[in-house]
Amino acid sequence: MADTQLALTKYFQGTEPFNGLGLEEVRSSYKWKLPKTSFNGEQVVTSGTNFEENVRLKLFLNKIWNEEEWSRRKIVGWIISDWGGIRSNKQSTLEKYYKESLQENPKTPLTGIASFSKVLAIKDPLKYAIYDARVAVGLNAIQMILAVTSGEIFPYLSGRNKITGDWSAKSPRGFSKSKEASITTLTYPPYNWKKIPRSDAYERYLELLQLISKNLDVPLYELEMTLFSQAEELAIRAVPSLGTKIN
| pLDDT score, position 245 | 57
How far is Cα 66 from Cα 69, in angstroms, rounded to an integer?
Answer: 7
How far is Cα 66 from Cα 126, in angstroms, rounded to an integer?
Answer: 14
How far is Cα 94 from Cα 99, in angstroms, rounded to an integer?
Answer: 9
Per-residue pLDDT tens over the stretch 104-116: 999 999 999 999 9
Q: How confident is the model at residue 247 (pLDDT cuts 50, 70, 90)?
A: very low
Per-residue pLDDT tens over the stretch 33-76: 888 888 887 777 777 899 999 999 999 999 999 999 999 999 99
How far is Cα 207 from Cα 5, in angstroms, rounded to an integer?
Answer: 10
Overall average pLDDT of the 168-184 stretch: 94
Amino acid residing at 163: I
